[in-house]
Amino acid sequence: NAGVTQTPKFQVLKTGQSMTLQCAQDMNHNSMYWYRQDPGMGLRLIYYSASEGTTDKGEVPNGYNVSRLNKREFSLRLESAAPSQTSVYFCASSEVDRGRETQYFGPGTRLLVL
């Protein structure tokens, strides 16, 4: 099992450029998440998906769009990147087994917007 994979690992964008961060999990989880972590800060949830075809906004959804076209993949799109979106982006998936949740994180994507 690869767990949760993210691509790319690192990206530099110019202001106004667009890009899609890819996330995939091979654990057959229903729930998936996108977080961002700014330097020296905690995590903030951008979007959450409870299942294929459904998404919910998190704390900081502005400037982002997401797509959950299948159970395995959950992509995050920046339509017009801004320097404020410079961050490390983490994707995660989770399962609940007998009332106990376990979350699994990807390695992160470091994004620099100039």
Binding stretches for other proteins (CB under 8 A):
33, 41-45, 48, 56-59, 88, 90, 92, 94, 99-105, 107-108
Q: Which two tokens stand for residue 101?
A: 């949740």
Closer Cβ to other proteins, 9 or 77, answer by number:
9
Provide, rounded to whole angstroms, the least separation between the CB of residue 42 and other proteins.
4
Closest distance between other proteins and the C-beta of residue 15, in Å? Answer: 25
Q: Which residues pair with 109 in a beta bridge?
A: 89
Residue 80's contacts (CB-CB under 8 Å, 6 or more residues apart) are 16, 17, 18, 63
Q: Using the minimum distance from each CB to other proteins, give the nearer residue, 71 or 110.
A: 110
Residue 16 beta carbon to other proteins: minimum distance, rounded to whole angstroms: 28
